[in-house]
Structure 1
Amino acid sequence: MSSEIPYRPLPLDQSDVRYAYGPDSVLRPGVPAGETIAFDWTGSAIYPGTVRKFWVHVPSTYDPSAPASLMVFQDGWWYLDPDGQVRGATVLDNLVHSGDIPPTIGVFVDPGFFPDAEAPKNRNHDYDAFDDRYATFLLTEIIPQVTARYAIAEEPERWGICGGSSGGNCAFTAAWFRPDRFRRVIGCLSSFAQMPDGNPYPRLLPDTPRKPLRVFLQAGHRDLRWNAPERNWLAENLRVAAALAEAGYDFHLVLGDGPHTPNHTGVLLPDALRWLWRESLPQSE
């Protein structure tokens, strides 16, 4: 089946491009809003001394007798904020209501911080590491708070993870180390370029048996250091995309214009979720 893309002139200056939001990124008449519950997490064993907030968004159609799919978003409030650039809960409500994705509970997790430290942020330590600590943190500390309250599907094909910038490579790394739990990945403008020992994935992907992941990537023509010979965000995202293609992964790359901003991420989120969850909806009789 062919798809016709509307004509859009290319911008002459790509340094400040903004994309217009579609109808699934705004409140729509007749779409019931889900419920969002806020939590504080202060007792981390994986990241001792840190505190953070996370939010759980439950669609209005949630039925405890029918376990929901799960989508975990990094940089929680940035991705949840209904007046922000991603508007994750609004998108989930619209897509669940239209039947484009299965009933899905969203978990929006802020990065940790040290409340009394001179340098309180722990975001890069949380997100840029190449190890299983963050996945273990989610699976042993955050997600049990959700599964204790709501029925979540057991199948890993119904668990997704999403993030942008450092949260994007974090999402991919969590799925890389724990594909037994996370098999649907969205990574936008991912900061592969600033992983402490360099971006491992262009080397690993061709030489590692293919993992059962479905991966949606977004890259930007004017991402950070886009024309620099080292630590080039655009180049590292393209290298990961090429390695995924060569290794035979089910993946989709969207290359946009503009700088390191979540605007394009937010605009793409509805279609990214549709693509991730395709073939996951119940079939009509």
Structure 2
Amino acid sequence: MPFRSVLHSPQPWISRALYVAVCLSVLPAQGQEPTAKAIENGNFVVGPDYTIAAELTDLGNPKGRLFEFKMALADSKIFDGTDATLSPQKKVRKARRIVVYVPNAYQDGTDAPILVIHDGPNRLDLVRNALDNLTISKDAARRLPAFIAIAVENGGDDSKGSQRGLEYDTMSDRLARFINDEVLPAVLNDPEIRAAYPNIAITKDPWGRAVMGCSSGGAAALTMGWFRPDLFRRLITYSGTFVDQQDDDAPQEADYPLGAWEYHSSMKLIENSEKKPLRIFTHVSEHDLRNNDPEETYHNWVMANERTAAALAAKGYDYRYVFSRGTKHCDRKVFEKTLADTLVWMWQGYQPQ
């Protein structure tokens, strides 16, 4: 069942008037109660007690097919592991794993929607169970489309000067192009996948393409959609790294000197840009990274996500923001409690073309 919404006390860096407006926008009209099945836009709080949603467990339903292959970084035209911003002290993988789950409900020959998962195969086990259970749900309001889950391993290490940081924390369309131009064709041309599904196809409809990640992978999900909404429009970010993690030597520093912090900084990238065709889920944990840091560090994850959610609300985006009490960065129990609802909300309104 969907978790109950609770109004989260505003942090001092959010305008109280804006916060009240956001909260009122998700309350039912006077005299009405939200239906138990409704998955709404707005701000929500979960915790501090957590249990895994039954839909994210193995309920014995028919299973799909799992595949795995590797892509050598040296073969890539976009991320070959030799970027000038990389630090010699940070290890770069020679090859990245690609793990693909095709649900049992997928019919070979149809144009499949997809969910790209950063830092793959992280949380793929929960996504697999959600697909097994919710693609055949008797409740139409909670039924998921038979999307193919594509978990993509990062290029190695973390933060500034790393291949992972280059891929996930850079404010550009580079990662979106890598996934679209190199990863998706590799999935379609993998011999094992092609043998099992001779006519497998991936939709070109950007509303049929979702991205999910946590931490810098979460920031990367938003960035993929932000810079290429023509390719990806449904975006899921947990503990999003909307902070200044972009490499100091990156050419993008000229336009975005504070990296992903600029989404909600004094630049007000979200609010001052033309509204994009995106559907966006964001989350932060109560005890997320550097949650007591002052603004001038540009590294307070709670502040960053609160302000990102407020900016999305102010601009009128379809958004859903979850604050999880008593939890830490990318805490698994948050996924276990919320991911079923998150996926259902994310795919609401999807109509295959």
**TM more than 0.5:** yes
1:47-103 Cα shifts (integer Å, max 9, x gaps): 1144200111001121123322111000112222x3xxxx22222222212261111
- Please state whether the residue corresponding to 1:27 is helix, strand or coil: coil
CA displacement at 1:157 relative to structure 2: 0.7
1:145 corresponds, among 166, 183, 186, to 186
- Please state whether the residue corresponding to 1:163 is helix, strand or coil: strand
Name the aligned partner's letter for residue 201 of structure 1.
Y
CA displacement at 1:281 relative to structure 2: 5.5
TM-score (norm 2): 0.70
Partner of 1:94: 133
1:267 corresponds, among 337, 342, 345, to 337
Between the aligned partners of 1:121 and 1:110, the Cα distance in structure 2 is 14
Between the aligned partners of 2:291 and 2:147, the Cα distance in structure 1 is 35
Structure 1: which 5+ residue stretches go unaligned? Answer: 12-16, 115-119
- Please state whether the residue corresponding to 1:97 is helix, strand or coil: coil
Q: Residue 214 of structure 1 contacts residue 251 of structure 1 at CA under 8 Å; is this kept in 2?
A: yes
Q: Residue 117 of structure 2 contacts residue 213 of structure 2 at CA under 8 Å; is this kept in 1?
A: yes
Partner of 2:293: 228
- Please state whether the residue corresponding to 1:268 is helix, strand or coil: helix
CA displacement at 1:154 relative to structure 2: 2.2
Partner of 1:37: 67
TM-score (norm 1): 0.86
Structure 2: which 5+ residue stretches go unaligned? Answer: 1-32, 38-45, 82-93, 195-199, 247-256
Q: Residue 214 of structure 2 contacts residue 330 of structure 2 at CA under 8 Å; is this kept in 1?
A: no
Say whether 1:105 aligns with 2:148.
Answer: yes
- Count of matched residue positions in the alignment of Structure 1 and Structure 2: 264
Larger Rg over CA atoms? 2
Between the aligned partners of 1:51 and 1:121, the Cα distance in structure 2 is 15
Q: Residue 130 of structure 1 contacts residue 195 of structure 1 at CA under 8 Å; is this kept in 2?
A: no
- Please state whether the residue corresponding to 1:186 is helix, strand or coil: strand
Say whether 1:127 aligns with 2:168.
Answer: yes
Partner of 2:283: 218
1:249 corresponds, among 307, 317, 327, to 317
CA displacement at 1:235 relative to structure 2: 0.3
Q: Where does 1:1-285 land on structure 2 (aligned, <5 Å)? A: 2-3=34-35, 19-29=50-60, 31-42=61-72, 43-49=75-81, 50-80=94-124, 82=125, 87-98=126-137, 100-113=143-156, 122-148=163-189, 149=194, 150-196=200-246, 197-198=257-258, 199-202=261-264, 203-229=268-294, 230=297, 231-257=299-325, 258-263=327-332, 264-280=334-350
Between the aligned partners of 1:137 and 1:19, the Cα distance in structure 2 is 36
Between the aligned partners of 1:172 and 1:102, the Cα distance in structure 2 is 22
Alpha carbon RMSD of aligned pairs, Å? Answer: 2.4
CA displacement at 1:210 relative to structure 2: 0.5
Between the aligned partners of 2:162 and 2:316, the Cα distance in structure 1 is 37
Q: Residue 220 of structure 1 contacts residue 255 of structure 1 at CA under 8 Å; is this kept in 2?
A: yes
Name the aligned partner's letter for residue 335 of structure 2.
T
Name the aligned partner's letter for residue 107 of structure 1.
I
Q: Residue 101 of structure 1 contacts residue 280 of structure 1 at CA under 8 Å; is this kept in 2?
A: no
Identity %: 34
